[in-house]
Structure 1
C-alpha cells in the first residue's frame, strides 16, 4: 500500500519531468482519499494553470484557502490566475493578503508588480518591483519589468540601467535585449538599439517584433531601404499589425514608392479602422500623387475619429488650399497653433481683425523667407485698420521690408520688441481678411527697393539677361516647428531642388546670359559641375534679400524653382517663371500655368515625379518664343 506522502513524491517527480498527465492523475487519486490534502490540491492548481484551465486552477486554490485561509502561496497563485481572467479587484486583494502573510516573498511582489503594470499603475508597479529586488538583488525578471515600468514614466536612463542588470543576470533572454533596444531608441541612440536587436535575434531568430523594432530604428537613421526589408520580415513572420503597415508605408513614402505606401496605409486602416494616423498618412501620399479629392477625404475621416488631431487639420488645410478653397483652407491652417512649438506664441493678445486706431500691431513672419514675402502683401490692408505696424522677421528681410511705406519699424528676429498691443502671424492674415481666389490682394509690385549699390556684372543690354535658382533651401535648424511639419518641409526641399546640369539646358537658347541668384550651400554647385564660364555667380554680391531685389531689378527674367527668389521676383512685379515639381506646394494649385498671387508669374510643371528634364525642356521652348 503506497502512502499519501509517497504518492505525492511520485506526482512531483512526474511534474518536474513535465509528465503532467501522470502528475495530475496521481494527485487526483490522493484527493479521492483525502479531499482537503493541501499539497496535492496545490499541485493540481499549478497543473491546471499551466494547461490553460483557469477556472479549474482558481477552484483548486480557493479550495486550499477554504482549508487554510493563511496559505500565502495559494493567495499568490490564486491572484495570478485571477489576473489572467482580468478580475483585477480580486487579484489585487489576494496579492495584498499573500504579502501580509509572507512579506519577504520576492515572487509575490514581482507578480503584484505585473498586475499593476497591466493596469498602467506605473508608480505602484515600480514600488513592487523595487521591493522584489530589495529581497532578491539577482532577480533578473524583476529588473527587466522594473525597467518596463520606468520606461512608461519616461525615466529612461534608469530603465536602461535595469535592463543592463537583467542582461548581466540572465544573458540568454532575447526579450530583454529587445526591451533595451526600445529604450535606447527612445533616447535617440539608434545604432546602440540596433546592436541590441541583433543580439536578440541571435538568441531567437524568428521574433517578428524585433524585426519591426529594427525597421523603426533603421527608419530613424534614414536607412529606409533597410527599414523596408525589416518590416517585410516582420510581416512574413506573421506580425500582421496595423502599426507595421503604417510604419512601412512611411518609409516607402520616403523612398518615393508612393503606390506601395498607399497599399500599406490602406492595410493599416483595414486592420485598425479606429487609428487616426494611417488616415493622415494616406492623405499626405494622395496629396503627393495630386489626388486632392482623396487627400481631403482621408483627412476628414481622420478628423471624424479625432476632431482635435492637429496633423489631420494641417494636412486638410494644404489639400483645400491646393484645390482653391482658400477660405476653408486658411481656417484649417489655424490649427497649427495647437502645437506649442509651432512658430511663436507671444504674451500679447492675437489680433482678431478689429479696428487698430490708437494701437500698435506686431506682424510676425513665422515661416520661411518665401512665406514672409508672400504674405507681407497684406500690410496695406492692415494699415487701413489704423494704428502703427511693427514687423518681426529674419535679418535677411529687414532692409527689404523697411522699404514698405506703411511699416513703422522692422525688428530683426531675436531682438527685443518695442511696446505693442496685439500681434498676428503673417500667415494668419488671409484667414482674418476672409479672402478667396477672387479677392486675393494681387496688385504688384508690393515690394520695392532703393538701389543698394549692387550692380549686375557683365550685363549686355542686347541679349536676354536671365537669373536662375535651381535649389530650394533646407529648412533652418532654428525654425521651430512640430516634427511632423518639419518632415513636410524637408520633403518639400527635396522635391523643389533640381540638378544644376539639367537647369543649364537653358544655355542652349540663343542670345542668353545666365546669372545665378542661388544662395546657400547649393551656390557651390557651379564649381562642382564646372559651369564657371557659363553662369555668372552672384552669391558674393548678395548680403540679404534687398541686394537680391536690386539684382533682380536689373534682369529681364528670373527662372526659379519654388523658393524665396520666386516670391521676391513676383512681389517686385518682374517676369518670373517657376519650375514646379509634380506634386507642388499648395499655393500653385493644380494644372494652372499662371498664379492668382503674382500676375507676372508663369508656371512650368513636371509631368511625372522627378522629371526636371521634361519641365526644363518646356522652359527652353518657351524661352525660344518669348517676346520680352
Structure 2
C-alpha cells in the first residue's frame, strides 16, 4: 500500500491528537492513530511525513518497541537528512540500547544541524564517558559549561566522571554547581551524599540524602544510602526502616536487600539477616557482596560448613577480596583445620602482602603450635602494616609476657588504654585524677583501680606493698565487693572502695593506676617478681568454716573447681565439661573432696554422683574472704585457670592448675610446670596439643596418688 499524506488541516489535527495521547502516556493509542498515515515501509512521501514518522517513533519508544522506533527514525532521516528531532530521538534510543558508537555519530550530526543544542552536547559527553573516553568526555562537558554555566546535568555528569577519578574536591564543586543550577536536582544531592560519606563527613552526607528525599520522596537509592549512614552512626532501627521503605518502592532492589541484611546482622538478628541475603541472591545470583555477607552471618550462627562454602564462592567470584580469604581462614581454624587455614591466608597475602589481619591470623596459628618466634614476627608484621591494629598490639604484648620478656611485654600491654573496645579505655575519662606514670610517689595518695578479673587483682595486688615502699602516703584499692573483706587487711592497702565510690572520690587523689600496669612502671623482670600477697584469713571465718570441714572423714582435704566464669573469653577451652571429668580422682584412696565451685557448675556439686562423698561449700561462700578461710584449711586445691588458683597461691596452699592448650593465658608462661608468680606453691598441668582433658586428669590422678601415698 502506498501511504499518501493527508490534507494539511487533517494532517495537523492528526499530529495534535497523537501528541496529546503521548503526553497522556497513551503511547500504544498514539501509535495506532499514526499507523495508517506512516505505514510499515518507506514511501516517496516520507519527506512530507517526517513529523508523523518522528512522533510515531516516539510513540513506539514509549510503548517499548525500540526496534520499530529505530526503523521509523531511520526512514525520517533518510527522507529528511536535516530533520534534527529524528537524530535526537534515535540517538537517545541507541544510547539506551548501548549502541554507543551509533549514538555518538547521531549526536555529532545533530550538533552540525543545531550547534547551540546544549542538551545534545551534554548527551554526547555522556556517551563519550560511557565509551571510556574520559578525557574527551571531560573536554566536552567543560566546553559546554563554558557556554552554558547553568547547565545542571552537565555539572552533574562531569562530577560523576571526576568522582570516579578520585578527584573528590572537584567532584564536590561540580555537584554543588549542579544543585545551584537546579535546586531540585535530587540525583546530585544523592551522589553528593555518597561523596561526603566516603570522606567521613557523615553528618553532611546524612543532610544531603535527606534533601534528596525531600525533593523526591520515592527515591530508593537515596533511601538505601541514608540507611548506610544510619547504620554507620548506630541508628540501626531507623536504618532498617529506610531499607524496608526502599524495598517497598522497588521490591527487588538487590543493594537494599544486601544492606538490610547487614543492618539486621548488626541488630543481632542473624536469622532475619540470612533471609535478606538469600533473597538478594535469589534476585541476583552473582551478587558477590551478598554472598560474602551471607558467609559472615552463617559464621556468626556457627554453621561453619555453610559459611565455608559461602566464603569459597566469594573468593571464586572476587579473587582479590582479601577479607573473604581471611574470614574463610577463621572458619577453617574454628573447624580445627589449621593447615588449610594457613594455605588460605597465604593466598590472601599473595593478593595483598601488607594485609594486617592475615599476618595476625598466621601469627595466632603459629602461637598455638608453639612457634613463638614466628608468631612474634607475624604480630610485628601486622602492627607494621596497620599501626592502629589494637588486637595485634595486644597479642604481641601478651606473647612477649608469656615468653618471659616482661620489659617490652608489659610496656606494650599498656596499649589496652588506646583500644576503645576495652574497659580500660573508658577508665581514663571516668577518673578525675591523672594516671601514675612511674614518677615519685612520696607523700602522694594513690587509687589502685580494678579493671580486670578477680584473679588478676589477687595476682597483682602484691604490688600495693611495693608502691607503699616507694613512698605512697595513702593507697585506696577500688574493686568488686567480692574482694572487699579480703583486701582490707592486705599490706600496703589503707582503704577499700567499690567502683562507684572510687569514681566519685577520684578527684581527691593525686593519681591512679591499674595493678597490672605496675610491673611496667617498676620495671619488673622475670627475676624480680615480688612475693605473692600474704593473705591472712579472718580467724572468725576460719573457725566458722572449720565446723563445716569437720564433717568430712579423716584424710587429705582437696578443694576442686572445674569451671570458670562463662563470660571469660576463653572459658570454652579453660573449663572442664563437667564435674564428671574429675571422676578418676575419686579412685585415689582416702582423699576428701571439697567443692569450691560457684556459678555455673554449682548444680552438679549440689547433686554429686553417689560414688563421690563431696562437701560442697562454694554456694555458701559469700565472698573471697569466706573462700580464703576454707582454702587455708585444705591440703591441696585442684582447679582450672580461675581466681581460686591465685587465692590458693596467695594463701600458700598448694595448688595444681589444669591449663588448656588453646589460647593459654599469658601469665602462665610456656613450657614450665611451675610459675615464678607462686614459687614453691603451684604446679601446672598443661594440656598437650590434641590432648583431651581426660588425659590431663589422669596425670593429676597419678600425681595425687604419689603425693598422698
Q: TM-score range by the shorter chain?
A: 0.7 to 0.9
Give the structure 2 partner of residue 602 of structure 1.
683
Secondary structure class of the residue paired with 1:423:
strand
Correspondent of 1:381 among 463, 466, 476: 466
CA contact (8 A) 1:465 1:515 kept: yes
Deviation at 1:350, TM superposition (A): 3.1
Correspondent of 2:655 among 576, 579, 583: 576
- How many Å separate the matches in 2 of 1:528 and 1:269? 53
Match status 1:518 vs 2:597: yes
Residues 133-532 of structure 1 correspond to what in structure 2 (within 5 A)? 133-221=213-301, 223-224=303-304, 226-238=306-318, 240-339=320-419, 341-343=422-424, 344-345=427-428, 346-353=431-438, 356-386=441-471, 387-416=473-502, 420-442=509-531, 445-452=534-541, 453-455=544-546, 456-461=549-554, 463-475=555-567, 489-492=568-571, 494-526=573-605, 530=609
Match status 1:624 vs 2:709: no
Give the structure 1 partner of residue 74 of structure 2.
none
C-alpha distance 364-193 of structure 1, shift in aligned 2 (>3 A): same
Correspondent of 2:633 among 548, 554, 557: 554
Deviation at 1:210, TM superposition (A): 0.9
21-30 or 424-433: which moved more? 21-30
Secondary structure class of the residue paired with 1:4:
coil
C-alpha distance 501-140 of structure 1, shift in aligned 2 (>3 A): same
**Structure with more contact order per residue of length (Cα contacts < 8 Å, sep ≥ 6):** 1
385-394 or 220-229: which moved more? 220-229
Residues 116-135 of structure 1 correspond to what in structure 2 (within 5 A)? 116-135=196-215
Deviation at 1:214, TM superposition (A): 2.3
Q: TM-score, normalised by structure 2?
A: 0.78
Give the structure 2 partner of residue 73 of structure 1.
153
C-alpha distance 527-224 of structure 1, shift in aligned 2 (>3 A): farther
Deviation at 1:581, TM superposition (A): 1.1
CA contact (8 A) 2:230 2:238 kept: yes
Q: Which runs of 5+ in 1 are unaligned?
A: 476-488
C-alpha distance 446-200 of structure 1, shift in aligned 2 (>3 A): same
C-alpha deviations, 1:138-196, integer Å up to 9, x for none? 22223223333444455544443332222111111111111222233344444433332
CA contact (8 A) 1:362 1:423 kept: yes
CA contact (8 A) 1:209 1:239 kept: no
551-560 or 435-444: which moved more? 435-444
441-450 or 430-439: which moved more? 441-450
Deviation at 1:281, TM superposition (A): 4.0
- How many Å separate the matches in 2 of 1:146 and 1:444? 57
C-alpha distance 447-300 of structure 1, shift in aligned 2 (>3 A): farther
C-alpha distance 130-578 of structure 1, shift in aligned 2 (>3 A): closer
C-alpha deviations, 1:486-505, integer Å up to 9, x for none? xxx41255334343222111
CA contact (8 A) 1:99 1:105 kept: yes
Query: What is the RMSD computed on CA atoms of the aligned residues?
Result: 3.2
Which is greater in Rg? 2
- How many Å separate the matches in 2 of 1:259 and 1:144? 41
- How many Å separate the matches in 1 of 2:620 and 2:153? 83
C-alpha distance 199-544 of structure 1, shift in aligned 2 (>3 A): same
CA contact (8 A) 1:593 1:604 kept: yes
Correspondent of 1:545 among 579, 603, 624: 624
Deviation at 1:272, TM superposition (A): 3.2
Give the structure 2 partner of residue 53 of structure 1.
133
C-alpha distance 17-542 of structure 1, shift in aligned 2 (>3 A): closer
C-alpha distance 29-383 of structure 1, shift in aligned 2 (>3 A): closer
Correspondent of 1:4 among 65, 73, 82: 82
C-alpha distance 108-426 of structure 1, shift in aligned 2 (>3 A): closer
C-alpha distance 150-594 of structure 1, shift in aligned 2 (>3 A): closer
- How many Å separate the matches in 1 of 2:433 and 2:196? 45
C-alpha distance 618-206 of structure 1, shift in aligned 2 (>3 A): same
Give the structure 1 partner of residue 51 of structure 2.
none
Deviation at 1:594, TM superposition (A): 1.4
Deviation at 1:506, TM superposition (A): 0.8
Deviation at 1:318, TM superposition (A): 1.0
Equivalences, count: 614
Q: TM-score, normalised by structure 1?
A: 0.87
Q: Which runs of 5+ in 2 are unaligned?
A: 1-78
Deviation at 1:322, TM superposition (A): 0.9
- How many Å separate the matches in 1 of 2:610 and 2:331? 36
Give the structure 2 partner of residue 615 of structure 1.
696
CA contact (8 A) 1:327 1:436 kept: yes
506-515 or 249-258: which moved more? 249-258
Deviation at 1:46, TM superposition (A): 3.6
CA contact (8 A) 1:283 1:315 kept: no
Match status 1:593 vs 2:685: no
- How many Å separate the matches in 2 of 1:146 and 1:159? 7
Secondary structure class of the residue paired with 1:327:
helix
- How many Å separate the matches in 1 of 2:432 and 2:611? 50
